[in-house]
Chain A
Amino acid sequence: MTTETVRPTINPPSLARASMVVVWRNLIHIKRMPEMLMDVTVQPIMFVLLFAYVFGASIAIPGSNYREFLLPGIMAQTIVFSAMIVAIGLTNDLEKGIVDRFKSLPISRASVLIGRSIASLIHSSIGIAVMAVTGLLIGWRIRNGVVDGVMAFLLILLFGFAMIWLGILVGSLLKTTEAVQGVMFTVMFPLTFLANTFAPTAKMPSWLRFIAEWNPISSLTQACRNLWGNGDPAAASAAWPLHHPVGVSIAWSIVLTAIFAPLALRAFKQRSKD
């Protein structure tokens, strides 16, 4: 079988093209393992139902009902956890040598990260969409029109972008997916609760209320509530960020990205240097 090997011309793809190929690959993963989506579907739906029906009756929401109050909180929690999705995916690829394989190719190494990030944002967006449908079924509504409604979804995605950098940072620093899962759950889970996501902050002890109201996740949640018309605006006694939640959410997204992106890139470079 001695054939003269014809060597093809290699035309390295652009950054955008290579990133899209990596996205394609990551989306096949979701297709092959729909259970990967459980973290953004079954789990939040369970949360919605548990919270709405177990606590719902005993938590009074000024100007609305608990289910409408809850939905933006759950969506904020879902997008925060996109950091974990990115981190697990990246650690997995590093562990299994897939990143090495990509690094041996004539493509920009950034395409590995960009592809991973876009796929994770799609992953989280599927979750947000599922949440919206679940919400609509149990009585959540967008009450302030299409423009504000869409604006809230865009805010969620923007915040997700910042979370992705956190994910890349954690994924590059930790060696195993188990470690990622452990660390992320221990740190992020309480953070999504120390906020206005699941209960109003007004009755919290003052120190806790301070933390909760300055928590970036609270700003995002409040922004969505205001834009969707889910309940009254923040109480007069609430901390400053909750009175300007849209602007503050955008600012937080930018600040968090500015902090995490350089650290993440450095950690990824360091991890993939040796």
Chain B
Amino acid sequence: MSAPAVEAIDLVKRFGDNAAVDGVSFVVPEGSVLGLLGPNGAGKTTTVRMLTTLSVPTSGTGRVAGHDIRKEPDAVRRSMGLTGQAATVDEFLTARENLKLIGSLYGLPKKYIAETSDELLERFSLTEAADRTAKTYSGGMRRRLDLAVSLIAAPPVLFLDEPTTGLDPRSRSELWEVLRGLVRDGTTLLLTTQYLEEADNLADEIIVIDKGRIIAAGTPTQLKDQAGAASVVVTLTNASDLDAAERLIRTCSDEVHVDPIARRLTAKAAGLGDMSRIGQVFEESGIPVDDLGLKRPSLDDVFLHLTGHKAESTDETETMEEARS
């Protein structure tokens, strides 16, 4: 076990009377992915800004790659990359010039910058557009360039603030693939997101944050378990079998919900064991079944359960939801 890649120690940030971040602590082990999940204004960005030395904490501190963000900000800046909420590429520079700009400011050798730029451009499918100004890029290309720029110095720790906000579903899954590749190569990621699906997909551990405080933490599975039990959902082929099917399921589970129109029965279940048992009794009974599966509560359910309100209601997110469906 090596030292944690990122640590937040009772971080607080006040703007006037308002505490944007109100005592946040967590640890991100080296090589893992932490998802900071929460609605707009929850304090995710402020937390990242403090950890990346852009903003000075009102109290508390943090460590990145073992360096204190207050006492050794320069060492912190040498060990991390940041992809901010807005794609902060210089739009009047080409992709290659953007990489050169940031590479030179890290003080990397010219030859290294040139070689690494080529690699990164290739990896982010930007080779063809490499000598066009970023102004001409699509949203997805800008994001990819932004990420490429953050990687020019191959930082061991990478902060990503809402990396896929505003991207279409295809660009989003492409970006996820790139991020998984980085993790395979040993990079530690801390990403913030409003998308439960994204945290579920990428993070080893999720911290749910609301109104500046941590309201839950755990693996995606743990969080889902916290929101309530899983259930087994059986969809019958014929509506006429509903009564027989209900009796059958009751032998395995006490809580059964019947939806006659959808020919669907939902039974509370503890896990996979219950599902296979129910599968077996249906197999033996000979009642034809269209579909049988285990449904875990989604992170949306988790959020609702934890906060009593929906995860978000911003315009941007709605557009995303539409784009996804």
Contact = CB atoms under 8 A, between A and B. Distances in A.
Contacts of B123: 1
Contact of B90 (A4, A25, A103, A105): A25
Interface residues of A, number: 35
Contact of A98 (B90, B156, B187): B90
A13 B187 CA distance: 25
Contact of B54 (A13, A24, A33, A103): A103
A96 B84 CA distance: 10
Contacts of A29: 92
A29 B123 CA distance: 27
Interface string B184-196: 1111000000000
Contact of B88 (A32, A96, A272): A96
Given A1-B181, A28-B93, A273 B77 contact: no
B78 interface: yes
Interface string A163-207: 000000000000000000000000000000000000000000000
A106 B13 CA distance: 23
B222 interface: no
A22 to B, nearest CB: 8
Given A25-B90, A32-B92, A97-B84, A13 B97 contact: no
B154 interface: yes
B104 interface: yes
A138 to B, nearest CB: 34
B: interface residue count bin:
35 or more
A4 to B, nearest CB: 7
A21 B100 CA distance: 10
A256 to B, nearest CB: 30
The SS class assigned to the A binding surface is loop
A58 interface: no
A25 B112 contact: no
Contact of A274 (B15, B153, B156): B15
A2 B184 contact: yes
Contact of A104 (B53, B85, B92, B133): B53
Contacts of A262: none
B55 interface: yes
Given A12-B78, A13-B105, A105-B102, A28 B54 contact: no
Contacts of B91: 96
Contacts of A11: 106-108
B88 A12 contact: no
B82 interface: yes
Contacts of A100: 54, 82, 84, 88
Contacts of A98: 88, 90
A106 B186 CA distance: 22
A11 B110 CA distance: 12
B96 to A, nearest CB: 12
Interface string A1-23: 11111111011110001100100
B117 to A, nearest CB: 13
B237 to A, nearest CB: 45
Interface string B63-86: 000000000001001101110111
Contact of B86 (A3, A5, A7, A96): A96
Most chain-A Cβ atoms within 10 A of its Cβ — which of B15, B86, B112? Answer: B86
Nearest to B182: A5
B19 interface: no
Most chain-B Cβ atoms within 10 A of its Cβ — which of A7, A32, A96, A101? Answer: A101
B185 A3 contact: yes
B105 A18 contact: yes
Contacts of A4: 185-186
B52 interface: yes
Contact of A12 (B74, B101, B149, B184): B74
Nearest to A11: B107
B281 interface: no
Contacts of B105: 13, 18, 21, 102, 105, 107
Interface string A89-122: 0000000111011111111000000000000000
Contacts of A101: 82, 84, 88, 102, 149
23 contacts: A1-B123, A2-B181, A2-B185, A5-B154, A8-B112, A8-B116, A10-B78, A11-B107, A12-B78, A21-B101, A21-B105, A24-B101, A25-B90, A32-B93, A33-B92, A96-B86, A97-B88, A101-B149, A104-B81, A104-B82, A105-B106, A106-B74, A272-B54
